[in-house]
Amino acid sequence: MSTYSVVNPATGETVVEYPLISDGDLAQAVGGADTVHREWSRNSTVEDRAARLQRVADLHVERRQELAEIAVREMGKPVEQALAEADFSAEIYSYYAESAGDIMRDEAVVLRGGEGSALVRRTSIGVLLGIMPWNFPLYQVARFAAPNLIIGNTILLKHAPQCPETAIALEQIFLDAGFPAGVFTKIFASNEQIETVIADPRVQGVSLTGSERAGAAVAEIAGRNLKKVVLELGGSDPFILLSTDDLDRAVDDAVSARLDNNGQSCNAAKRFIVVDDLYDAFLEKFIAAMTAIRPDDPTRGSTLLGPLSSGAAADRLAQQLDEAVRAGARLATGHTRQGTYFSPAVLTSVARENPAYAEEFFGPVAVVYRVAGEHEAIDLANDTPFGLGSYVYTTDEQQALRVADGIEAGMVFINIVLADSAELSFGGVKRSGFGRELGRLGADEFVNKKMIRIGG
């Protein structure tokens, strides 16, 4: 059976299968990416690359329905969210196309002494490998590929094995946008083959979005071969509610932050930390709002919660939930599972000794905690191996900034959720990984910042 296959999580149907790339074709793909970097990318202008990247953005908009239908079929995303993902990906490509001049502009260095001048010039480094996940099959690729193509690097895409049709569609978009063959190349490679790609001296860096286990494995191989690596791994993001003038809005935001993408988002709010005087009212409204949303057919425009990405993903989540309850957690909601369809669940009374305390629930499961105040909220928020994103709700501006300073995370959103944007950097600390994507910082990961010193 092929490693790369589309199995519709809503129906269980195997839609299509693709064979693994042969070792010979893989070597040719790496060689082609290296050749086009040396012969085209390094000699192209940033204006030319920006124009082609803008065409990539335009094609995402033109083909948004096709791209969305593929995502729904591959991983069960509700169709309206899949359409929004195609649009957001287009915005990312447009952002880097429009910002290309600023990103690549020489940076003058003020000399402390001596004659002449100095500058830092950003140049490409070569072939990059992107190992991308299934949960945002378009957006994850965009935030890796867009800045690096503006720089002039070339891309090898190893997409998730359940997203081969997305990989095919994206490769065709880059070709249709006018990028030469080899600038953006999909590879249906096995894990063993990927190890050889990372070790190849023509490959200069690796970006992975995925699990901690995958990140550790890739980082070990990359380190052994002295390759730069960017890792975006898991998260168990806190949603801290300290005060509010509109509890209903805070609850709606909390539900949105937990259930977006069927609850399968690394930077989703997963742990809800509520001060004592708001806890009971919040919990009552939160349970009502969560349980009012029922999983449904992801092809329907009204669906807010589709199936989990696979039977294996649903099995893992069910096992975590069962273990949490056996260890003393209280399941505050009714709960049903039908195949890959998983109804929202809310846990309370999760003690520190409970396995659920330190785990990431990758699906529509929320954990709610009661705290006495600000300091206890910060301590609880930081008592996790993860440090990706976080959410703070308060009416006190100074408190918001104090809490933001105290949280150990790469991102803090204050009184807002689902506010990712192309110009905002994305990434975490601790076991959530290292490096940044998106924004200006996303263009500084895989680039040669070449210092040039000119005498008087």
Residues carrying an active site annotation: 232, 266
Query: How many other CB atoms are there within 10 angstroms of residue 277's CB atom?
Result: 12
Rounded-to-integer distance, Cα 151 and Cα 114, Å? 31
**Residue 378 — φ and ψ, nearest 5°?**
-65, -45
> Which residues make beta-bridge pairs with 371?
275
415 φ/ψ sector (left φ>0, alpha ψ -120 to 50, else beta): left
**Residue 3 — φ and ψ, nearest 5°?**
-70, -35
> Which residues make beta-bridge pairs with 337?
342
Task: Look up residue 14 and give its amino acid.
Answer: T
Of 13, 32, 14, residue with least CA distance to 24 = 32
Alpha helices in 327-423 (DSSP H): 374-382, 397-406
Tokens of 421: 């944007």
Chain-centre distance of CA 438, in angstroms?
10
C-alpha angle with apex 110: 104 to 113, nearest 5 degrees?
A: 145
Chain-centre distance of CA 345, in angstroms?
23
- Give the 3-state secondary structure of 249-267: HHHHHHHHHHHHHHHCCCC
C-alpha angle with apex 267: 385 to 360, nearest 5 degrees?
A: 45
Task: Look up residue 215 and give its amino acid.
Answer: G
Rounded-to-integer distance, Cα 93 and Cα 191, Å? 29
Rounded-to-integer distance, Cα 235 and Cα 357, Å? 13
